[in-house]
């Protein structure tokens, strides 16, 4: 070991960002391992690495005893006093045991252990770096695919895109550049594992932050997102600034901002609606592009019936119920849609239910009163 070794450690720290102390710790562990393998013992061995000169010295630590039972672990009091009259029973003495040919014998073993520690340090650096990107968006390059995953190169690591995280019917070719959402980062025994998604609703949120400065700055807030990846999404937005139209801001001049997001998602349709603190108004907005005549809430306030013009019933429900389903996800309400022609019948049904309920309540009150009078008698 010499100054060339120190220079190599400094270069490793500069080029790979791996702390020299970590490598020195790995080196010491490697030398103890090599000494144990070639010289039969290491339980009382210490390594001393000179960080200035790059020299390594190996010491055997022996305990001073009256009677020596194991010469590798103990030294007699008589021999200890010959070294230094101040030694007493129970003291520990360091004896240098560095073999002359130790560097040659231990080189391969040390190299393997050092490389392993270096790999571990690199993995930790990558894990810490990508952990900071969790729930963020990155651009990657499609590398390859198998039956389980599509592998996306993110620079320092290859992320995996599972089937459920892919956009249905989207075709991924090698060398394609795609934006992905970092959904999870794990530190496994085989190294860091990064999971990415193209179907996650928050991918949409991050894309709006990239394309719409007002969303990134917080002037326009995305309240909720309902998404059926690859087909259609609804996004509810609001703004505290009365001078900002949150929907128009997200759409952009001539639809340029939202079109950039649609293009990135391979044509996924996008409905941007304005959030309102009045649930009825918000639900009506969420059913856009259908017109809403009235929103009637059930006793369970998370359920409602929406009345729409007859000719817009299919538009409100949407293809395979998609518009109503996305509106329900967006607002958090269970939505039942009825045409205007059934409105009177629906209201009459509500009135009959109210009358029946009132009669039941009156009957219960009467029964309680009778029971009370009987007890008094």
Token representation of residue 371:
């029971």
Return per-residue pLDDT of the chain as tens, 377 residues: 556 667 777 877 777 777 778 878 888 888 887 777 777 766 788 888 777 777 778 888 899 998 888 888 888 989 889 999 999 999 999 888 887 777 666 567 667 777 777 788 788 888 988 999 999 999 999 999 998 999 999 988 999 999 999 999 889 999 999 999 999 999 888 889 999 999 999 999 999 999 999 999 999 999 999 999 999 999 999 999 999 999 999 999 999 999 999 999 988 999 999 999 999 999 999 999 999 999 988 877 788 889 999 999 999 999 999 999 999 999 999 999 999 888 877 776 655 554 444 444 444 444 454 445 555 55
Contact 154, 138 (CB under 8 A): yes
- Let me know if 86 is exposed, middle or buried by CB neighbors in 10 A (0-12, 13-18, 19+): exposed
pTM of the full structure: 0.70
Domains belonging to the chain, first-starting first, are: 3-130 (3.30.1480.10), 135-197 (2.40.50.140), 200-275 (3.30.300.20), 281-377 (3.30.300.20)
Number of residues in the chain: 377
Token look-up 């998609």 returns: 322
Contact 166, 177 (CB under 8 A): no
């Amino acid at each position: 070991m010499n100054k060339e070794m120190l220079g190599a450690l400094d270069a490793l720290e500069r080029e790979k960002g791996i702390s020299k102390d970590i490598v020195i710790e790995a080196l010491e562990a490697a030398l103890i391992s090599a000494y144990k393998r070639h010289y039969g013992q290491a339980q009382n061995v210490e390594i001393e690495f000179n960080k200035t000169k790059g020299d390594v010295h190996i010491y055997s630590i022996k305990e001073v005893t009256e009677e020596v039972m194991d010469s590798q672990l103990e030294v007699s009091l008589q021999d200890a006093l010959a070294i230094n009259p101040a030694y007493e029973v129970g003291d520990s003495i360091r004896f240098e045991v560095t073999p002359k040919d130790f560097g040659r014998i231990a080189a391969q073993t040390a190299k393997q252990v050092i490389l392993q520690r270096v790999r571990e340090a690199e993995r930790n650096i990558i894990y810490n770096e990508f952990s900071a990107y969790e729930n963020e968006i990155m651009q990657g390059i499609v590398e390859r695919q198998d039956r389980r995953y599509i592998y996306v190169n993110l620079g320092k690591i290859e992320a995996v895109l599972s089937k459920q995280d892919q956009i249905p019917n989207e075709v991924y070719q090698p060398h394609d550049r795609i934006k992905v959402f970092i959904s999870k980062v794990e530190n496994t025994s085989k190294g860091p594992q990064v999971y990415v998604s193209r179907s996650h609703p928050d991918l949409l949120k991050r894309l709006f932050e990239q394309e719409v400065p007002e969303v990134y700055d917080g002037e326009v807030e995305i309240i909720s997102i309902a998404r059926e990846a690859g087909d259609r999404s609804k996004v509810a937005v609001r703004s505290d600034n009365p001078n900002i139209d949150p929907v128009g801001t997200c759409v952009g001049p001539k639809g340029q901002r939202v079109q950039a997001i649609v293009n990135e998602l391979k044509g996924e349709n996008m409905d941007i609606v304005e959030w309102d603190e009045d649930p009825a108004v918000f639900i009506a907005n969420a059913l856009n592009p259908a017109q809403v005549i009235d929103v009637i809430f059930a006793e369970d306030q998370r359920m409602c019936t929406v009345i729409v013009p007859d000719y817009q019933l299919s538009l409100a429900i949407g293809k395979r119920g998609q518009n109503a389903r996305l509106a329900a996800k967006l607002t958090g309400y269970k939505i039942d849609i009825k045409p205007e022609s059934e409105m009177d019948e629906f209201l009459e049904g509500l009135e009959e239910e109210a009358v029946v309920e009132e009669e039941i309540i009156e009957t219960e009150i009467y029964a309680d009163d009778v029971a009370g009078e009987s007890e008094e008698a």
